[in-house]
Amino acid sequence: EPEVTQTPSHQVTQMGQEVILRCVPISNHLYFYWYRQILGQKVEFLVSFYNNEISEKSEIFDDQFSVERPDGSNFTLKIRSTKLEDSAMYFCASQRAPAGRGPNEQFFGPGTRLTVL
Amino acid sequence: KNEVEQSPQNLTAQEGEFITINCSYSVGISALHWLQQHPGGGIVSLFMLSSGKKKHGRLIATINIQEKHSSLHITASHPRDSAVYICAASPHSDNFGNEKLTFGTGTRLTIIP
For chain A, the three-class secondary structure string (H helix, E strand, C coil) is CCCCEEECCEEEECCCCCEEEEEECCCCEEEEEEEEECCCCCCEEEEEEECCEEEEECCCCCCCEEEECCCCCCEEEEECCCCHHHCEEEEEEEEECCCCCCCCCCEECCCEEEEEC
Interface test with A, best of B10, B34, B38, B101 (most A CBs within 10 A): B101
Residues of chain B neighbouring A42 (CB-CB closer than 8 A): 86, 103-106
The confidence score (pLDDT) of residue B41 equals 81
> Taking CB atoms and an 8 Å limit, are B103 and A42 in contact across chains?
yes
Of B14-23, B39-48, B76-85, the range with the lowest mean pLDDT is B39-48
Name the residue among A45, A107, A113 with its Cβ closest to that of B101: A45
61-90 in A: which are within 8 Å (CB) of B? 89
Q: How confident is the model at residue B3 (pLDDT cuts 50, 70, 90)?
A: confident
The confidence score (pLDDT) of residue A97 equals 73
Name the residue among B31, B42, B43 with its Cβ closest to that of A103: B31
The answer to whether residue B27 scores a pLDDT higher than 90 is: no
The answer to whether residue B14 scores a pLDDT higher than 90 is: yes
The answer to whether residue A98 scores a pLDDT higher than 70 is: no
The answer to whether residue B81 scores a pLDDT higher than 70 is: yes
Helix (H, G, I), strand (E, B) or coil at B98: coil
Q: Which residue has the higher pLDDT, A72 or B10?
A: B10
How far apart are the CA of A28 and the nearest CA of chain B, in angstroms? 13
The confidence score (pLDDT) of residue B93 equals 64
pLDDT, one tens digit per residue, over A23-57 is 999 988 889 999 999 999 999 999 999 888 998 99
The confidence score (pLDDT) of residue A99 equals 57
CA B22, distance to chain mean position in Å, is: 7
Percent of chain B with pLDDT over 70: 92
pLDDT, one tens digit per residue, over B83-101 is 999 999 987 766 555 788 9
Whether residue B31 lies within 8 A of chain A, CB to CB, comes out as yes
What gap in Å lies between CA A82 and CA B63, rounded to an integer?
Answer: 40
The answer to whether residue A102 scores a pLDDT higher than 80 is: no
> Taking CB atoms and an 8 Å limit, are A102 and B98 in contact across chains?
no
Whether residue A106 lies within 8 A of chain B, CB to CB, comes out as yes
Q: Which residue has the higher pLDDT, B107 or A55?
A: B107
